[in-house]
Amino acid sequence: MVEQGSGEERRVTDATEFGRVVVLYGGLSAEREVSLKSGQAVYQALKHSGVDAHGMDVGGDIIEKLQQGRFDRAFIVLHGRGGEDGVMQALLQWLGLPYTGSGVMASALTMDKLITKSVWRGIGLPTPEYVLLDGSVETERQAALLGLPVIVKPVCEGSSIGMTKVEQAGDLHAAWVDAASRDKRVFAERWIHGSEYTAAILGNEVLPLIRVETPNSFYDYQAKYQAETTRYVCPCGLAPEQEKDLQQLALKAFSLLGCEGWGRVDLFVDGEGQTWLIEVNTVPGMTDHSLVPMAAQAVGMDFRTLVWRILETSLETTAVGDTGAPAGANV
């Protein structure tokens, strides 16, 4: 594991120190079904660890329920919009309720793939070139100039929902239509030919990398949550020094966006050995197909211990009024 080396993580040995914990899951995003599975898994793990945990499927009455519940902290397992984009973090912060994971600003930044890429490019971190699409022939022509294939993505969507690998220029418009049905902003990103890796981050540590292999055209929703043909390789097969370099890059990419607590950074290594950062997930999946639990298992950490460790990050939640912006950022 790679450690950031700054700051002491607060550890808890007595479940009563957490108080009354609400596990927030479900919600209204396109990732609702995954969130329901993740949330139930987290809730059961906390209950088995002796935590006074209470599950809550988030709906329009969330403010009233949180106020009536007299909770001491929240474990956020909401994927996508309304849970991973700073909205829930802002609500909890306003209510004075500590929560797991990244703060308001970092959550909002990383949910927007283009802002994430812009920040990385601005500080010299490697991420693939892209073109913003608007459905016009001109932007589709510009996307084709990236070199086919490209991957077309909604800007603010997760779990590969609305994404299409495009190998022929004539298919760009259909891909844009599909992505635009999910988000009003869509972009095409240069396809990286190489190996896909993911770096799970827990506190100040980066867990062992996992190499993801799928027979699908890319690691899509079906490959992530339904297929039994997806391979997760850990140890990832890289030389120890190369793996350490990728872990340090992932931690830098995560931290410079102001992210904290836990999360996941996805990246590729191309045929020339160049690393490319793809995106950050601040509330990764916690299902039986999910990557963070796999990485934790690789260092001997079972699911209940992982969930406990994530809940400990709620002890570091900043005070009301702190947006969770990167240190020194002028935002």
Q: Of the residues 103, 225, 261, 314, which is catalytic?
A: 225
What pLDDT digit, counting tens, does each position of 132-176 carry?
999 999 988 998 899 999 999 998 876 667 889 998 999 899 999
Catalytic residue list contains 211 = no
Q: What are phi and psi of 202, to 5 degrees?
A: -135, 110
Residue 27, domain member (yes or no): yes
Here the CATH number for the domain that contains residue 283 is 3.30.470.20
Same-domain pairing of 144 and 49: no
Residue 324, domain member (yes or no): no
- pLDDT given for residue 224 in this prediction: 54
What per-residue string of b and e applies to 230-244 under the rule 16 or more CB within 10 Å gives b? bebebebebeeeebe
Same-domain pairing of 135 and 44: no
Cβ contact 249:237 at 8 Å: no
Q: Of the residues 80, 86, 285, 324, which is catalytic?
A: 285
Same-domain pairing of 243 and 185: no
Residue 168, domain member (yes or no): yes
Q: Of the residues 29, 160, 281, 290, which is catalytic?
A: 281
Residue 267, domain member (yes or no): yes
Residue 250 structure tokens: 């992932």
Same-domain pairing of 256 and 137: no
Catalytic residue list contains 6 = no
Q: Of the residues 102, 159, 160, 314, which is catalytic?
A: 159
Same-domain pairing of 297 and 201: yes
How far is it, in rounded angstroms, from Cα 190 to Cα 131?
A: 9
Same-domain pairing of 121 and 140: no
Catalytic residue list contains 225 = yes
Residue 329, domain member (yes or no): no
Catalytic residue list contains 266 = yes
- pLDDT given for residue 321 in this prediction: 42
Counting the structural domains of the chain, the total is: 3
Q: Of the residues 81, 190, 264, 309, which is catalytic?
A: 264
Same-domain pairing of 14 and 152: no
* Amino acid identity at 327: A
Same-domain pairing of 284 and 152: no
Here the CATH number for the domain that contains residue 65 is 3.40.50.20
Is the peptide bond preceding residue 235 cis, with omega within 30 degrees of 0? yes
- pLDDT given for residue 325 in this prediction: 40
Q: Of the residues 26, 31, 80, 81, which is catalytic?
A: 31
Most confident residue range from 27-36, 40-49, 164-173:
40-49
Residue 331, domain member (yes or no): no
Same-domain pairing of 116 and 134: no
Catalytic residue list contains 159 = yes
pTM over 0.85: yes
Residue 175, domain member (yes or no): yes
Same-domain pairing of 183 and 308: no
Three-state secondary-structure class, residue 268: strand
Closest CA to 75 of 88, 65, 59: 88
**CB neighbour list of residue 199: distance below 8 Å, 6 or more residues apart:** 206, 207, 209, 246, 247, 250, 251, 264, 265, 266, 267
What pLDDT digit, counting tens, does each position of 61-96 carry?
999 999 999 999 999 999 988 889 999 999 999 999
Domain, as residue range, for 208 = 110-125+193-314
Q: Of the residues 279, 290, 312, 314, which is catalytic?
A: 279
Catalytic residue list contains 279 = yes
Catalytic residue list contains 189 = no
Cβ contact 83:108 at 8 Å: no
Catalytic residue list contains 197 = no
Q: What are phi and psi of 318, to 5 degrees?
A: -75, 170
User: 10 pLDDT band (50/70/90 cuts)?
Assistant: confident
Three-state secondary-structure class, residue 93: helix
Here the CATH number for the domain that contains residue 154 is 3.30.1490.20
Same-domain pairing of 118 and 255: yes
Q: Which helix (H) or strand (E) is 261 found in, with range? A: none
Residue 57, domain member (yes or no): yes
Residue 152 structure tokens: 């077309």
**CB neighbour list of residue 239: distance below 8 Å, 6 or more residues apart:** none
Distances 223 to 10, 105, 215, 312 between C-alpha atoms, Å: 36, 30, 9, 31
Same-domain pairing of 83 and 114: no
What pLDDT digit, counting tens, does each position of 232-275 carry?
999 999 999 999 999 999 999 999 999 999 999 999 999 999 99
